[in-house]
Amino acid sequence: MSTRADVAATVVACLLGAVLGLLAGVTGSFLQEVRPWDVPVGLVAGLVASGAAVFGAASLTRSPAPVVVTPLAWLAAALPLSAARPEGDVVVPGDTVGYCWAYGGMLVVGVSAVVCASGLLRRRPPGRRDAPVA
């Protein structure tokens, strides 16, 4: 049975997950081209931030809703920035790093969501194998 506090916690976690997903998608789209010494540091940082956004939102509540909202917000932010505009401007170029950001980011948020939703990260109490998942 859900209480009002559980519902409120889920709504807050979903809102925070949406903000985290949007932030990770937008900042990663702009920073994925940062390459000091020809090392794509911005790409790696963006992918790590994208996965961390999903795990962060999932850790706020036991509900699976933030796990769904965060990747959808990431997609809503990152995919439009990957498309060419009528003026010819492009945020995410069609080169190797751009494709790694677009497809790698989708893979990272998707796998992160599956791992969080499946409960693989939940710990069981020590000493009992049949104990319910905490």
| 33-62 per-position pLDDT tens digit | 888 888 888 888 989 999 999 988 888 888
Q: Is residue 88 part of a domain?
A: no
Q: Is residue 87 part of a domain?
A: no
pLDDT one-digit tens code per residue, 77-102: 988 888 877 777 778 887 888 888 88
Share of the chain above pLDDT 70, in %: 87
Coil, strand, or helix at residue 14? Answer: helix
Q: Is residue 114 part of a domain?
A: yes
Compute CA distances 51 → 21, 56, 89, whole Å: 9, 9, 27
Q: Is residue 126 part of a domain?
A: no
The contacts of residue 50 (CB under 8 Å, 6+ apart) are 24, 25, 28, 74, 105, 108, 109, 112
Q: Is residue 124 part of a domain?
A: no
State the total domains in the chain.
Answer: 1
Record the pTM: 0.80
- The per-residue pLDDT of the chain, averaged, comes to 83
Q: Is residue 101 part of a domain?
A: yes
Q: Is residue 12 part of a domain?
A: yes
Q: Tell me, what's the pLDDT at 129?
A: 59
Q: Is residue 15 part of a domain?
A: yes
Q: Tell me, what's the pLDDT at 1?
A: 47
Q: Tell me, what's the pLDDT at 133?
A: 58
Give the domain extent around 114: 4-82+93-118
